Amino acid sequence: PSPTPSSTASELLRTPRPLLPLQYRSSTNASTPRKIPWRLSSNQKFRQRNRLRNVDSVVATLDNALARQGQSMKKVERWKVEMPTEQEMLPKDKYSVFDRKVKRYRKGIHKVPKWTRVSQRLNPPGF
């Protein structure tokens, strides 16, 4: 119904709105999980390797700059001792992480929340 000059605001609020056609409705339900593919694409793997290398280069740059000044940081030294570099890591460790709830104790790294921002390089021995 089109509004007439004599209609009031309360009458306009009471008029039913037409439903959206099915083509404009959201097809996903809020209770369904996100659709995450079960394997990483080759492009995702490429970007993951680059992220690992970038972190390694930042740590190396910090270490060199501090060494030139005759200083060191405990966190940088600890990172160098504990964390493997990208070349030292197995592909299994680059692209998957330990998860005790999964059948074979490994899940794809892309299923970890914020996996592009969190450094996940160490896993329990034997897994």
At 36-69, the pLDDT tens digits run: 899 999 999 999 999 999 999 999 999 999 999 9
Question: Is 16 domain-assigned?
Answer: no
Question: Is 95 domain-assigned?
Answer: yes
Question: Is 88 domain-assigned?
Answer: yes
Question: Is 53 domain-assigned?
Answer: yes
The three-state secondary structure class of 53 is helix
Number of independent structural domains in the chain: 1
pTM: 0.72
Question: Is 9 domain-assigned?
Answer: no
Instruction: Count Cβ atoms below 10 Å from residue 64 Cβ, excluding itself.
Output: 9
At 66-75, the pLDDT tens digits run: 999 999 999 9
Question: Is 105 domain-assigned?
Answer: yes
Question: Is 75 domain-assigned?
Answer: yes
Q: Residue 96: in which H helix or E strand, if any?
A: strand 96-98
Question: Is 46 domain-assigned?
Answer: yes
Q: Which residues of 17-31 are buried (b: 16+ CB within 10 A; e: fewer)?
A: eeeeeeeeeeeeeee
Q: Which domain holds residue 86?
A: 42-111
